Chains A and B, each alone.
Chain A
Amino acid sequence: MLKSSMIYGALFILVAGTFACGDSEDSQDEQPEAESLVEVVDGWTAELTARSAPLAAGAETFVIELHEANEGVQPETFEVEAWMPAHGHGTMKPTEIEAVDTGVYEAVVTFSMPGDWELRVDADDRRFVFDVEVSP
């Protein structure tokens, strides 16, 4: 009797732990629409817009627009890097960038996992940092 009780007790702890972390109601939330994030550095404005929302692990496309005094501005160098500060790594696949207009770029970022990421946009000597959340 004692042996059975102990085994059932152990199983209960495991099972209770499992279901305590099961699906929550939050996972059924409606999907938000894509919003733009804006950062200003040294007179330049960078606007980041995701093609879809919420962001998910895998490939995601962003549009990045650079402005100076409401005019599109064309930097000499332009790079985008995704970085996960809490885990100390970037993406496994390099971000693909395509210039589509003056100061307008399309970037395909492949997030390797969900969580909090930084999108670091370097335009000439300016760095714009956008905090984005990749949903589970």
Chain B
Amino acid sequence: MKRGTSTRAGLALCTFLVLLPQTGSGQPCCSASSAGEAGVVGRCHYAMLSTSLGIEHGLGFTDTEGEFQPYQSTRSSDAILTIAGGFRPFDQRFRVGAAMPFRGQYRAGGEDSATALRPGDLALSTGFLVLEDPMTGLDSAVPFVEPYVASTLATGVSPDQSSDPLGADTTSQGASTLSLGLKVIKFVTPSHAIRVSGEYRYAFSYSVHSRDDRIQLQPGPALEGVLGWTYEGSIFWSVGLQARLTFRDELQHEDEPIPGSEMRRLYTGLTYRHALRFPYWDLTASGGQDMLLGKNTIRSGLTFMLGIQRNFL
């Protein structure tokens, strides 16, 4: 393979690995509200640091029947500053990363409104690249394959800890999570890559205040699948699309499932990457929505993100 083509394909992969997870930041049910899989360093880089500013503008929510309910008197807008970093210790195939979001949230309902700035959930991830795509296209059947482990620590403010009547200071569900996933990326041409990944997410139980007691709730396990595509126009820019579908099983209280508490969310988004100073500085912009095919989402709407990233070779 020509060196230029290889370099271009390598950069496309790096961009793909780094940018796609960042577009998934946000909600919580609840999503609420975590950084998702962030701080992922590209395969051809030794380390990365990034900061991004995201906007999540809620336009409604999906109810327990799966109907989207557009906001009328409710308002919800978030600004999320995320600081992330990652590096590859020991082995070029091994990576670790972390991302910490800080959320400024505005909520309004009826005559009331509130704004609060609080930390969100700390996200950690690590992965190992077990197979490498030669990036020559379909003449090779070998894709990139990376099993990974990710976790979110409930460092944000849970509804139980909230002191704001409208929950403007609520930045976490209150449950830490541990995920196992497998990410597969195949370059179908030297410029086009397809990503398929799947993740199983276990959430640890958490307690909430109910009357004078505390009750223990067990969130159901979640399954998440991502389908993505990226195209690299040149070494200076790339664009990608992704769809991420998440299912979470019912909450449980005293081993009894709570009817209607299962959640489904579909996020679709677009990411654009521009090299400010190749290969060290990248500017990324992304946008997406999660209003289609959802069920029992706390809020759904539009997301936008602008980030800058420093890569270290």
Q: With A56-B73, A116-B63 known to touch, is A86 a contact of B239 (CB < 8 Å)?
A: no
Q: How many A-B residue pairs have CB under 8 A?
A: 150
**Inside 8 A of A13's CB, which chain B residues have their CB?**
241, 268, 270
Q: Could you list 8 A-B pairs, sorted by A, with CB under 8 Å?
A: A13-B270, A14-B288, A23-B70, A86-B261, A92-B159, A110-B165, A113-B298, A136-B72
Q: How far is the CA of A14 from the CA of B290 in the complex (A)?
A: 10
Within 8 Å by CB of A112, from B29, B69, B165, B300, lies B165
Q: With A86-B260, A91-B165 known to touch, is A20 a contact of B210 (CB < 8 Å)?
A: no
**Inside 8 A of A57's CB, which chain B residues have their CB?**
73-74, 107, 109-110, 112, 166
The tally of residues in B whose CB lies under 8 Å from a CB in A reads 57
B87 at the interface (CB under 8 A from A): no
A58 near B61: Cβ-Cβ < 8 Å: no
**Inside 8 A of B111's CB, which chain A residues have their CB?**
58-59
Within 8 Å by CB of A11, from B63, B167, B251, B270, lies B270
B208 at the interface (CB under 8 A from A): yes
Within 8 Å by CB of A90, from B59, B60, B208, B260, lies B208
One digit per residue, 1 when the CB lies within 8 angstroms of any chain A CB and 0 when it does not, for chain B 208-235 equals 1111000001010000000000010100
Q: How far is the CA of A135 from the CA of B288 in the complex (A)?
A: 25
**Inside 8 A of B69's CB, which chain A residues have their CB?**
114, 136
Chain B min CB distance to A88 (Å): 5
B298 near A59: Cβ-Cβ < 8 Å: no
Identify the B interface with A (CB < 8 A). Answer: 29-30, 59-61, 63-64, 68-74, 107, 109-112, 159-160, 162-167, 170, 208-211, 217, 219, 231, 233, 239, 241, 251, 253, 258-261, 268-270, 287-289, 291-292, 296, 298-300, 302
Q: How far is the CA of A81 from the CA of B72 in the complex (A)?
A: 25
**Inside 8 A of B170's CB, which chain A residues have their CB?**
92, 112
Q: How far is the CA of A21 from the CA of B70 in the complex (A)?
A: 8
Within 8 Å by CB of A89, from B109, B160, B164, B259, lies B160
Within 8 Å by CB of B73, from A7, A86, A116, A135, lies A135
Chain A min CB distance to B101 (Å): 20
Chain B min CB distance to A39 (Å): 18
A85 near B292: Cβ-Cβ < 8 Å: no
Q: How far is the CA of A89 from the CA of B296 in the complex (A)?
A: 14
Q: How far is the CA of A17 from the CA of B293 in the complex (A)?
A: 10
The tally of residues in A whose CB lies under 8 Å from a CB in B reads 42
**Inside 8 A of B70's CB, which chain A residues have their CB?**
21-24, 27, 136
**Inside 8 A of B167's CB, which chain A residues have their CB?**
92, 112-113
- 3 nearest interchain CB pairs? A57-B109, A58-B110, A21-B291
**Inside 8 A of B268's CB, which chain A residues have their CB?**
13-14, 17
Q: With A135-B73, A136-B70, A136-B71 known to touch, is A112 a contact of B63 (CB < 8 Å)?
A: no
